[in-house]
Structure 1
C-alpha cells in the first residue's frame, strides 16, 4: 500500500490515519450515546440504515441490558456455601472458584440471587450475592452484502453531505 513512499511520507500517512481514526472514534462515542438514547426513547429494537435513495445498506439492532449475579459480600457468601455445601469451602474459607461459578451460573439462569436445593427442591436465597447490571444497553450495526462499500461510495460521492455531523473529506486540492 505504501511501498513507493519515502519514509517521511509513510510517517505522514500513518499520522494522518491515526489522527483521523482518533477524530472518528471521539465522534463515534457521542453519536453512539445519542443513537442509543434515541432508540430507547422511541422504543425501537431494529432500524434499517438506508441511503437517501432508499437503498438499504445495513441495520441497527438494540440489545437489552442483562442482569448478572455478583458476589457482594465474600464472607456472607462463604458462610452460605459452608452451610449449604461444606465440602465446597476450602480450609482457608474461600469458596472454590468452580463452585462459585456454578452458583453464579444458576443464579444468572434464575434471574435472581437464589438457587434450588437439589435435595429438598427448595428455593434458597443466597447470602452475600445480589443481582446487578451486567452490561449496559447497547446496539450494533450489521451490513448488507457490500453495504459498507456502497455506503462509503455514497459518502465519497457527496450524497450524504446534507447530513449534519458526518465527517467530511475532500481530496486533492479541494478546499
Structure 2
C-alpha cells in the first residue's frame, strides 16, 4: 500500500469513525433518558436488545450512581479537626489533616451516608463542617452482549438488516 493509499484509507475511516461516534453518543444519551424515565415511572432498570428480525443479542442495564463523603471546604474541615482532634493535625510550614485520619472519617461518613461522624472512643456525634456527600460516580448504563451478540449485529449489518435502524445516514447516502 502506498502512502497516498494509506492516507486515503485513514481519512475515510476517520470520517466514518466520527459519524459513528457522534451517533453513538446521541443514542447513548437517548437510551439513558428512557432508562431514567422507566426507572422512575415503573422501576424498570434493564431492557433486552434484539435484532429487528432476530434473537436477543444484549441487555442494557441502568446502574445507580454512588455518593461519597468529600471535603468541599478544606479550611473549615481542617479547623474542626484542629479544634477537636489536634493530634491528627500534621504540622509543617502549613497545617493539614493527617491523610489517614481524613480517609478514615470520609470512609465512615460515606458508609453512613451522612456528614455526621461518631467518635467511637467518646461517643460524641459531630456534624463535620467542610464535608458533603457528593456524587462520586455518576449514574450510567451499560450494554452487556450475549456470547455471540456482537457477531450477530455484524452479520445483520453486512446483510443490510440494520439499514433503517443504525446510522441511516451512512447506508442511505445522506449528505451534510
TM range (shorter): 0.7 to 0.9
Separation in 1 of the partners of 2:53 and 2:123? 60
SS class of match (2:97): coil
Separation in 2 of the partners of 1:20 and 1:87? 60
Runs of 4+ in 1 over 4 A off after TM superposition: 164-167
1:101 and 2:106 equivalent? no
SS class of match (1:132): strand
Separation in 2 of the partners of 1:16 and 1:167? 15
Deviation of the 1:123 alpha carbon:
3.1
TM normalised by structure 2 equals 0.84
Match of 2:128 in 1: 126
Deviations 1:73-92 (A, max 9, x none): 11110012123322221122
Deviation of the 1:148 alpha carbon:
0.7
Q: Pairwise CA RMSD of aligned residues?
A: 2.0
Separation in 2 of the partners of 1:129 and 1:161? 52
Match of 1:173 in 2: none
What are the residue-to-residue correspondences of 1:16-55 with 2, within 5 Å?
Answer: 16-43=12-39, 44-55=44-55
- Runs of at least 5 residues in structure 1 that lack an aligned partner in the other structure: 171-175
Match of 2:162 in 1: 160
How many residues align? The count is: 166
